[in-house]
Amino acid sequence: MTKKIKLSELGNLFGGLDIQALEGVKIEGDVELDLGQMGLNPQVSYALGHEFAQIAFHLMNVSRILGYPVEQMLGSAAPPKRLSKLIESKFSVSRMEEWKTPIQEVVLGATSSDGGSRKSTVTLGGENALPYYFDSPMPHRNHVTMDVFDMPINMAKAVKSNYEDVINSPAEWAKKVVRDFGADMVTIHLISTDPNIKDTSPAQAAKTVEEVLQAVDVPIVIGGSGNPEKDPAVLEKAAEAAAGERCLLASASLNLDYARIAEAAKKYNHVVLSWTQLEINAQKELNRKLMKQCGVARENIVMDPTTAALGYGLDYAYTNMERIRLAGLTGDAELSFPMSSGTTNAWGAREAWMVSSPLKEDSDWGPREYRGPIWEIITGLALSLAGNDLFMMMHPGAVHVLKEITQTLYGSKETEPVNIDNWVSAVV
């Protein structure tokens, strides 16, 4: 198969080396040849044949000692080698030893035995590894909470068409997302309380929360309007109306009176959503303040490190979450909490809602009805891989697909095996 090389031909093998430099060099004493360490490139050994290998070995070591890149010279000189059998190999890889700290488990919702009226609860967190990694199975799947608003709002057309019949009734809206769209939870956004919108009173907002709690038996998230002056009062009143239900109060942030929200959560048995804007150190600071300054227990904190849409800062949001989760797993107790994403933000991307590209140079954007939901799916999916646990979402189709993929990767989707061996010739 391969012709054996004669000793006289070794010179040719080294033809590329500047042999002159060897002259006048004296090697004193014993040159140690460590067979185990240096070894002989098997390619070379094969090419030379066993009887010459030893001589070549000496020569090459001398050259190596003098600094010649022997392997590189030989690489091009050696003829390609044919093998008749596969080299047996075993693949193995270690688990991540530095992931020592589990993420805090947080239960949302309370059943009658725990002083609430929910029929089911949702448990977030508890991970010992990045999501879906083989190092350690995820103890709980991802969950979706669907948005309900306390007044009609502007929505992308593809979203709105699903809610036109319930847009004036938060209770009916909540029922619909649980019954028809598979929502694990419901978020009631009390946006009408914003002084710049309707300035609805905290008492009125609390009534809306009661209606939603009566309409559905899943755990709920209570969201303010985002007005930092008004939200503490609104969330206090809502927390009182929902006492004992272990709702997620959205949100405590550094730019409002977070202590009041923390206090309401403690007093009425709820969980605090700790919301910061794409800043890992701000997230640490707020979590620390909630725990140390306000006395919120670890099992009552969920983080929202902010979701930016695909194409609109998702690179920051993704990496921020991934860093937070890795910090938590490697022992940062101020960051080892479950995370929540306002995935609905994806609808702010113009690719999600615009009829067509405003730029003439762009390839056709195609029908927007299909672009919107997938923008929400991919925004959420990327963050699920970064470690996000709970998704706040809007479009029923997006919810369906996101649940399908996250639960597949989680390991709870059983399907018939598919044979992929002939994908090359498949007719698609």
Partner 1 sequence: MKLNSPLQVYKYLPQINCAECGDATCMAFAAHLIDRSKKLEDCPPLLKDEYKKKYMELQTLLAPEIREIMIGVGESAKKIGGDDVMFRHQLTFFNPTAFAYDVGDTMQESELVERVNKIQNFKKFYVGKFLKVNMVAVRCVSGDALKFAGTVKKVSETTKLPLVLCSFDPAALKAALEVVKDRNPLIYAATEKNWGDVAELALNYKVPVVLFSPDLDKLKSLAATFHEMGIKDLVLDPGTYPQGKQLKETFERFVKLRRAGIKEGQKDIAYPIMSVPLSAWLIYKDAVTASYWETVLASVFIVRYSDIMILHSLEPYAMLPEVHLRDTIYTDPRTPVKVAPGVNEVGSPTKDSPVIVTTNFALTYYTVESDLSSNKINCYLAAVDTDGIGVEAAVAGGQLTAAKIKDTFQKANFDFKDKTAHGTLILPGLAARLQGDVEDATGLRILIGPPDSGRIPGWMEKNWPPKPK
Q: Hey, which bits of 74-215 come out as E strands? A: 106-108, 122-124, 143-149, 185-189
* Residue 326 is a binding residue for partner 1 (CB under 8 A): yes
Backbone angles phi, psi at 149, to 5 degrees: -115, 150
Closest CA to 323 of 309, 335, 334, 310: 335
Q: Among 314, 393, 394, 399, which residue sits at the site for partner 1 (rule: CB under 8 A)?
A: 314
Binding-residue pattern over the window 111 to 150 for partner 1, x denoting contact by CB under 8 A: ---------------------xxx----------------
Q: Which is nearer to partner 1, 112 or 408 (CB)?
A: 408
Which parts of 21-40 interact with partner 1 (CB under 8 A)? none
8-state DSSP, 298: G
* Residue 371 is a binding residue for partner 1 (CB under 8 A): yes
Which parts of 275-294 interact with partner 1 (CB under 8 A)? 277
Q: Which is nearer to partner 1, 8 or 89 (CB)?
A: 89
Which parts of 331-360 interact with partner 1 (CB under 8 A)? 350-351, 354, 357-360
Q: Which is nearer to partner 1, 32 or 361 (CB)?
A: 361
Q: How far is the CB of 179 from partner 1 (least distance, A)?
A: 23
Q: How far is the CB of 272 from partner 1 (least distance, A)?
A: 21
* Residue 97 is a binding residue for partner 1 (CB under 8 A): no
- Residue 386: exposed, middle, or buried by beta-carbon count in 10 A (0-12, 13-18, 19+)? buried
Q: Which is nearer to partner 1, 195 or 295 (CB)?
A: 195
Which parts of 256-275 interact with partner 1 (CB under 8 A)? none
Segment near partner 1 (CB under 8 A), from 66-74, 157-165, 214-222, 336-344? 66-74
Q: Among 8, 20, 37, 94, which residue sits at the site for partner 1 (rule: CB under 8 A)?
A: 94
* Residue 3 is a binding residue for partner 1 (CB under 8 A): no
d(CA 270, CA 108): 8
Cα 144–Cα 128–Cα 282 angle in degrees, nearest 5: 70
**Cβ density class 303-327: b for 16+ within 10 Å, e for less:** bbbbbbbbebebeebbebbbbbbbb
Closest CA to 243 of 280, 273, 206, 274: 206
Closest CA to 391 of 283, 248, 268: 248
Q: Among 44, 56, 339, 378, which residue sits at the site for partner 1 (rule: CB under 8 A)?
A: 378
* Residue 385 is a binding residue for partner 1 (CB under 8 A): yes
Evaluate whether 246 touches 269 at the Cβ level (below 8 Å): yes
Which parts of 70-89 interact with partner 1 (CB under 8 A)? 72, 75, 78, 80-84, 86-89
Q: How far is the CB of 172 from partner 1 (least distance, A)?
A: 29
Evaluate whether 246 touches 221 at the Cβ level (below 8 Å): no
Evaluate whether 124 touches 131 at the Cβ level (below 8 Å): no
Strand partners, 149: 189
Evaluate whether 392 touches 343 at the Cβ level (below 8 Å): yes
Which parts of 187-206 interact with partner 1 (CB under 8 A)? none
Three-state helix/strand/coil letters over 15-69: CCCCHHHHCCCCCCCCCCCCHHHHCCCHHHHHHHCHHHHHHHHHHHHHHHHCCCC
Q: How far is the CB of 408 from partner 1 (least distance, A)?
A: 5
Segment near partner 1 (CB under 8 A), from 108-116, 197-205, 268-276, 308-316? 308-316
Q: Which is nearer to partner 1, 298 or 410 (CB)?
A: 410
* Residue 311 is a binding residue for partner 1 (CB under 8 A): yes
Q: Which is nearer to partner 1, 209 or 381 (CB)?
A: 381
* Residue 17 is a binding residue for partner 1 (CB under 8 A): no
Q: Which is nearer to partner 1, 38 or 243 (CB)?
A: 38
Closest CA to 342 of 145, 201, 184, 188: 145
Q: How far is the CB of 281 from partner 1 (least distance, A)?
A: 14
